[in-house]
Amino acid sequence: MARPGPNLLPAALTMLATPILLGSGDPPSQVQYAQITIRERVILRVPRSPMPAVTASRWKERKGPRCIAAQALAGALPGEAGSVDIVLSGGKRVRAKLARACRQIDYYSSFYIRPGADGQICADRDPIRTRGGAVCEIEKFRALSPR
pLDDT 10s digits, 59-90: 899 999 999 999 998 888 877 778 888 889 88
Q: Indicate the DSSP class of residue 51.
A: P
3-state secondary structure of 64: coil
Classify residue 107: in a domain, yes or no: yes
Does pLDDT of 14 surpass 50? no
Does pLDDT of 137 surpass 80? yes
Classify residue 39: in a domain, yes or no: no
Classify residue 103: in a domain, yes or no: yes
The domain of 73 spans 58-146
Classify residue 140: in a domain, yes or no: yes
Classify residue 51: in a domain, yes or no: no
Express the helix, strand and coil content of the chain in percent, nearest 5 each. 20, 35, 45
Q: Total domain count for the chain?
A: 1
> Measured in whole angstroms, how far is the alpha carbon of residue 80 from the centre of its chain?
25
Q: Is pLDDT larger for residue 70 or for residue 57?
A: 70
Q: What is the pLDDT of residues 108-133, one digit of tens each?
A: 667 888 888 999 999 999 998 887 78
